[in-house]
Structure 1
Amino acid sequence: MSTESAAAENESGPGPDAGPDTEASVEAVEATGAAADGTETAGTEEAAAQPSEAEAELAAQRELRERIAERKAAKEGPIAAGTKLSGTAADLLAAVRAVESGEKPATTVFAKPDPEPAPRPSAAAPEQRPRTPAAPPAPTVDAGPDADTVAAVRAVLVEGGAPDTLAAAAATALGEGAEDLLREDPWQLLRVSGVRPEQADGFARALLGAECGPEDERRGRAVTVWLLEQAAVAGHTVLDLPVLLDALGKRGVPDPEEAVQSAAAEGDAILFQDPVEDAPAPEPAEDGEEEAERPVRILVGLERYALAEESLADGLARIINSAPKDGDSAGADWEAAAAAASGTAAELIRAAAAHRLVLHTGGEAARAEPAALASAAAGLGLRVCVAAHSADGRRRAAALLGDDAPESATATVEGLLTQTQGPGRDADGALAVDLLVVLDAPQLDVDAAAMLVELLADGTCLVLSGDPGVLWSAGPGRVFADLLAAGICPRPASRTPDFGPIGELVSGIGIGELNQVEAPGKEVVIVPVRDGAEAVHRTVQLVADSVPRAIGVPAEETQVITPGHAGAAGTRALNAALKERLNPGPGRFGGFDPGDRVVQVTGPGRIRPGRVVGADAEGLRLVCDGEPVLVPKEQVERAVRHGWAVTGHQAAGLRWGAAVVVLPGDAAAGLSRPWVYTAFGRGERHLSVVHGVDAALARAVAEVAGKPRTTRLQRLVRAQVPGA
């Protein structure tokens, strides 16, 4: 690996170092609520609402969620028989059963389900429904709750001594009647992103006075939900009961067991009893003795993610067990297509011909293999769509498919779910495809995956393809990793390496080795720095001068990636310095000027790159992924950020001509192999590493695996698929 300084070594910039917002450990999230990589706890990374012009499509998504909930509610409760449990587990199970039996009030999770919709036919070829018309030129980000609701919430917040700037977020989080709910239960303020228990306690004391105390049932229930939400930010769909109880105790809840019981009784949380898979089987009972039960693991989760995970397992089992569609069983044709291909592409074609679910793994160069599968299937007359994580991924997929492929043959996952891209739906509401290939599969969180599988008709072939070495999804779950580990379907692994010095470097990182690579064309450059201020100075110099001059990649095609938002070399400091150099201005439009490079934040860790083109009385006007977007002025602060520098999670699934990865010394503790692997692989032609972590980089690559996530999907799909 070559080492080069981008400027004179005696130059440095001012500014002290500070700790970055790096990816929190599981323990930290469960005990303190720290956010995952690149996700701030201040609430400014909240999802921007979908464009109002797409309300019909969003309504379809809500309908899918309702169908998921109906199917789950129609099944038996998630808690299996546990009559021989004792202690806390038995008490909690008894509490849940009391809710189910009607002894305690229940909410939607235990509500009586509506009749299930009629099953979707699988044999008949579905009719294609006309696609939704294209959105108008400038979709508008929803402005949120009305002014009267926000004003009423603001009055309650001011009365309780809370910042009135939380009014819009609180009204959005709590919905209709938010002001009354806050008066009745001030700890509901914890549902607002960024609010912590100690802040909610102060708000409650101001409103309730002497009635407020740590033993209040409302506080215990709210803190329980808050901890589960913080765990979801870190990627967990459930938590082990002992871990949750310990975290509640650290948060000053005097009776953690009662708090979890209350949350379960109110329907805010769901308890699960899963067998301990690696526990030894109980010995046979002697005559006259009661048969011993296998040890179980008590898990607690939020309704949304628990139902999504179960729905995903059900949907995958349905797909796997369904027969191919009519006209999709021409074995000779498939074999001819496989024979015309080579290597892993041929293996993938054969797997897709014989199975309804296939998992394909490989790096950037391996994307050509699922593209070859899609082209072969289209040549056999099948309806095909290739979906990617981002608009950039969609463009790269379209390039692989070639100019002859129709526009509907590619989409983003979001575009498929909102019905704004792709082939549209058939008469039954299913996607009008026979083969769906999803690239960047590790970026699928459990919510998106469940909705996507719900849209597939019986007999559709689903191919999930991605690089297992990259960071997992920004949202909860580890769908691709869980399915790979479950072993329920073919898993062809690509043998196509990523080429060039960057590909060689990243491939080594994937197996835990930080190798030196030959880079005669300066494809990989290391820039050593002493502190965060120097890291910012060197980064600006690389983006604005060195990379365009030496590599030929302009500044607008060079992306800076750093571990967190805060710190002397976090995204805030880097974006401020890059704006001053590349597009100076007063920031007269909420901190932005025309020409500013920005990202529209669509969810925690999720972005759409764009550029500011202007502003007016309606709001800030952007162009994101080539499409105009209007962000109302009241939403600018939470929905738009400067985009010269982003975090590793935000960069996942995207590629640029050049990447400058900034590793300041205060980021060392947050580095991991998946983070380094993801960040170093974002540049197509060039990678500069602004290196200030010394030996910590090699240690992270060799020793620090990804943060573990607690999920149920692997066990659920194994239980659903015979022989798995």
Structure 2
Amino acid sequence: MTVPSEEAAGPETAGEPAGEAEQSAEGTDAEGTDAEGTSAEGTNAEGTAEVSEAQAELAAQRELRERIERRKAEKEAPIEAGAKLSGTAADLLAAVRAVESGEKSGTAFFDSPAPAPRRSAPEPPAPVRPQAPGPAATHERAVTPETLASVRAALARGGAPEALAPRAAAVLGEGAGELLAEDPWQLLSLPGVRPEQADGFARALLGDACGPGDERRTTALVGWLLERAALQGHTAMELAAVREALAEHKVPDPAEAVRHAVAEGVVLVFQEEEQEEHGQEDEEGGEESGERPEGAPEAAAAEAGPVLLGLDRYALAEESLADGLARLARTGPSDDWAEASAAAPTPSAAELIRASGAHGLVVHTGGEAARAEPVALAGAARDLGLRVVVAAHSENGVRRLGEEARAVTVAALLSGAAGPGRDAEGALAVDLLAVLDAPQLDVETAAMLVESLPDGCRLVLSGDPGVLGSAGAGRVFADVLAARVCPQVASRTPDPGPVGELVSGIGIGELLPVEAPGKEVVIVPVRDAGEAVHRAVQLVADSVPRAFALTAEQIQVITVGHGGSAGTRALNAALKQRLNPGPGRFAGFDPGDRVAYAPAPGRTLTGTVVSADAEGLRLDCGGAAVVVPKDRVEQSLRHGWALTAHQSAGMRWPAAVVVLPGDAAQGLSRPWVYTAFGRGERHLSVVHGADQALPRAVSETPALPRTTRLRPLLETLLTEPEEPTAD
């Protein structure tokens, strides 16, 4: 890239590089978040307690879990093939139920021939919409002292840390101590516990009575593998991959282990039919040809896809989401939108307005500048007298849209903390919903959102397909794009300036040279990670504020992972020492510290520490008062001067400093670079020590694929002819 050197951003003192720390095992940023979800309590102007957005969101998530449990109970009844699940999945699930009832053996189930594909998809039933949670639902069920004592005793007998007791009691419920004593591998259901740790715990409790082929062990391992896959964005795993992973964990008969896990109801089995006529799209929305060689047998085109294993929570969420999107897609056209499109500010906005008037489901793609187009759509719809909501992923995203957008966060909309509220049936009182930053939607959040929309509502999913995907499981936006079951409006409004030009090139796999006469893009070469930390601190504290008249609070540092000598931990320690030194009086935090708070999995709120008291740590998150309870600080709070690219997705700042030390190469990919480099509105500094790993990542390393089922579900529901209905 042809850009100014580091001196263009202002003179800096050379200084000696800081000592290089030992590389941590957490050096790269995994798909997902590391902080546990928690609840938070805000205060109003009078100082009285009130239900916060985070609490209400957790209550809504619990409502979804309860609804899923009801659906699981319904599945105990016999299921007709093709009645609810898509493709041959219903036939497979019916066979699984036969295994459970003893009518068939597990071997017969796996060896049976694949049933014929369905002829058509039935009309989806009316959605079961989640009700807005009330204040009483915001508190988790307390763990009894007896349960906690029994768990502590079981952990002590097995040599496990007693600090795990509160979490184990909360996850496993009443009788957790007895359950752990009978099935020590239940310890794997706790976040952070690895198989070798659970094995040691089991050996201490059971002695020679257990081995690598113990059914309790193999069943727990299957569930653990699926949970770990979900943290990487997958909603399912291929059967072959599960068997291979079990073999790596010394399971003597992986095939039998899977059969037993299916029979126990730990996982569900699916087999979607291959549908390649539309081409296979990757995580970034790019298309690979789905054409077959000339003369290939016709039967090959209808070949069944791989057998998948999935956890019921994600399977039911994907099925519910597909049904809901299909319901919205069948919304008919309206004649009132033609005049509105004629008054649109740009051709792309006009196209979006026309598409939204003619269809109930529309996908809109574009960069930062294109966000104005859904806002224009919302304004046009309001002028027509429609009830409109614009929703963004984060408070940062809401602020960037401006007051005229009247935007809310997705979390606040679902929890009822903001937005139009719900009717008696639990549906949101809305006629058009435009969701920005849609790539950040995980499958469970998207399912809750779509189920909350009334019949006849129009839904626009808008976002940049080049950014990193959701922190939670699923790839909702990419799957809807790939399915091609609704209109897709691609914005023709480019992001302006050198930063926009640079990021646009990255999106097509090229690290293009850019001219930056106003020092909009600056490259700072470094020799090692210690120098990278030193230079990043100089840029935030001195060079960038002086050159662009910004404060340090308007500059965000972004790096590849939390660990390592130039990860978020090392950078935040150095930045705190320079910008807000203090003793860390409350669990390592002081008033004035910038923090990143995870109120729920997949969400990151940025804010500042205000004070601490007996209730916990008090934060100011974009003007909202938030209290982090004392027992949740360590799990859900980090210093926030430096974030990972996954944490920063859906947010932007006036300036960004991206740190790429030499040991960051393995964590780089095109979507990572695209996301990180696009977080600065006016200025981007790249502290660059990755050498040729950066251009290689941009040109050769696309997004990691995610195994999901939403695309084939949508294709089945919306591309097959509907069955005729009697008058």
TM-score normalised by the chain length of structure 1: 0.85
Distance in 1 between the 2:392 and 2:233 partners?
21
635 and 64 in structure 1: CA distance in 2 versus 1, 3 angstrom threshold: closer
Q: Does 1:337 align with 2:334?
A: no
Structure-2 residue corresponding to 1:13? 18
Counterpart pick for 1:452 among 449, 453, 463: 449
Q: Which residue does 2:365 correspond to in 1?
A: 361
Which one-letter code corresponds to 1:495 in the other structure?
A: R
State yes or no: 1:376 paired with 2:377.
Answer: no
- Pair 1:302 & 2:311 matched: yes
> Structure 1 residues 259 and 526, CA, compared in 2 at 3 Å: closer, same or farther?
same
Contact 2:362–2:461 (Cα < 8 Å) also in 1: yes
The answer for the alignment partner of 2:36 in structure 1 is 46
Task: Give 2:393's aligned residue.
Answer: 389
Q: How far does residue 458 in structure 1 lie from its aligned partner after superposition?
A: 0.7
Q: Is the 8 A contact 2:586 2:612 kept in 1?
A: yes
Deviation at 1:53, TM superposition (A): 2.7
2:408 corresponds to which letter in structure 1? A
- Aligned mates of 2:489, 2:196 — CA distance in 1: 50
Cα distance change of structure 1 residues 589 and 120 upon mapping to structure 2, 3 Å threshold:
closer
Name 1:405's counterpart in structure 2: none
Query: Per-residue deviation at 1:723?
Result: 5.5
The correspondence for 1:4, drawn from 3, 6, 14, is: 6
Q: Is 1:631 matched with 2:628?
A: yes
705-714 or 204-213, larger mean C-alpha shift: 204-213
Report 1:141-220 matches (<5 A).
145=143, 149-220=147-218
Mean CA deviation greater in 695-704 or 546-555: 546-555
Structure 1: tracts of 5 or more residues without a match? 25-35, 82-89, 106-116, 123-128, 286-290, 402-408
Cα distance in 1 between the residues matched to 2:684 and 2:600: 27
1:427 deviation in Å?
Answer: 2.1
- Distance in 1 separating the partners of 2:482 and 2:319: 17
Contact preservation (8 Å) 1:522, 1:551: no
Cα distance between partner residues in 2 of 1:678 and 1:500: 17
1:154, distance to aligned residue in structure 2 (A)? 2.5
Q: What is the rounded CA distance, in whole Å, between the counterparts of 1:713 and 1:229 in structure 2?
A: 18
The alignment-based identity, stated in percent, is 61
SS in 2 for 1:602: coil
CA shift, 1:722, in A, is 3.2
Inter-CA distance 163–343: structure 2 relative to 1 (3 Å threshold) = same
Deviates more, 1:142-151 or 1:599-608: 142-151
**What is the alpha-carbon distance in structure 2 between the residues aligned to residue 104 and residue 144 of structure 1?**
41
Cα shift readout 1:401-450 (whole Å, capped 9, x = no counterpart): 3xxxxxxx421111111111111112221010000000000000000000
Task: Confirm whether residue 316 of structure 1 aligns to residue 319 of structure 2.
Answer: no
Residue 563 of structure 1: how far off its partner (Å)? 0.6
Bigger mean CA deviation after superposition, 167-176 or 575-584: 167-176
Local SS of the residue matching 1:708: coil
1:678 correspondence with 2:683: no
Q: Which residue of 1 aligns with 2:711?
A: 714
The alpha carbon displacement at 1:296 in A equals 4.1
Counterpart residue type for residue 49 of structure 1: S
Partner of 1:586: 583
Query: CA 1:181/1:74 → structure 2, altered by over 3 Å: closer, same or farther?
Result: closer
CA distance in 2, matches of 1:691, 1:283: 52
Whole-angstrom distance in 2 between the partners of 1:176 and 1:498: 55
The CA deviation at 1:452 is 0.4
Shift of 1:56: 6.8
Q: 1:538-687 maps to which residues of 2 (within 5 A)? A: 538-687=535-684
State which drifts further: 421-430 or 469-478. Answer: 421-430
Distance 2:323 2:208 in 1: 49
What's the secondary structure of 1:687's corresponding residue? strand
SS in 2 for 1:469: coil
The equivalent of 1:113 in structure 2 is none
1:13 is displaced (CA, Å) by: 1.1
The 8 Å contact of residues 236 and 711 in structure 1, kept in 2 or not, is answered as yes
Q: How far apart, in 1, do the equivalents of 2:543 and 2:80 lie?
A: 58
Does the C-alpha gap of structure 1 residues 536 and 605 become closer, same or farther in structure 2, counting only changes over 3 Å? Answer: farther
One-letter amino acid of the counterpart of residue 376, structure 2: A
Separation (CA, whole Å) in 2 of partners of 1:617 and 1:677: 42
**8 A contact 1:660–1:689 mirrored in 2:** yes
Please list the CA deviations of residues 363-413 of structure 1 after superposition, one character each: whole Å capped at 9, or x if unmatched: 000000000000000011000000000011112234453xxxxxxx42111
Q: Which amino acid aligns with 1:373?
A: L
Native 8 Å contact 2:364 2:491 kept in 1: yes
Match of 1:273 among 271, 274, 279: 271
Structure 1: how far apart are the matches of 2:155 and 2:72? 37
Contact 2:28 2:563 in 1 (8 A): no
Q: AA paired with 1:590?
A: A
Preserved CA contact (<8 Å) 1:104 1:265: no
Distance 1:284 1:650 in 2: 46
With over 3 angstroms needed to count, the CA separation of the structure-2 counterparts of 1:246 and 1:93, relative to structure 1, is farther
Question: Do 2:505 and 2:512's aligned partners in 1 also have CA atoms closer than 8 Å?
Answer: yes
> What is the alpha-carbon distance in structure 2 between the residues aligned to residue 218 and residue 53 of structure 1?
41
SS at match of 1:559: strand
Aligned in 2, Cα 1:20/1:506: closer, same or farther, shift over 3 Å? farther
Alpha-carbon offset, residue 266 of structure 1: 1.8
Deviation at 1:57? 6.7
Give the letter aligned to residue 244 of structure 2. D
Mind listing any 5+ residue stretches in structure 2 that lack a counterpart?
42-49, 84-90, 107-123, 277-289, 722-727
Is the 2:56–2:417 Cα contact (8 Å) retained in structure 1?
no
Q: Which amino acid aligns with 2:219?
A: R
RMSD (Å), alpha carbons: 3.2
Provide the secondary structure at the position in 1 that maps to 2:12: coil
Instruction: List per-residue Cα deviations over 1:604-636 (Å, max 9, x = no partner).
Output: 453111111111122211122321122221111
Distance 2:571 2:128 in 1: 54
Aligned to 2:529: 532
Tell me what 1:125 maps to. Answer: none
Shift of 1:282: 10
CA separation of 1:140 and 1:710: change in aligned 2, threshold 3 A: closer
Per-residue deviation at 1:66?
4.2
Change (3 A) 1:578 1:591: same
Conserved 8 A contact 1:524-1:688: yes
User: Aligned pair 1:432/2:432, yes or no?
Assistant: no
Distance 2:94 2:138 in 1: 46
1:204 corresponds to which letter in structure 2?
A
Q: Distance in 2 between matches of 1:528 and 1:433?
A: 51
C-alpha spacing 1:99/1:141, structure 2 compared with 1 (3 Å): closer
Letter of the structure 2 residue corresponding to residue 391 of structure 1: E
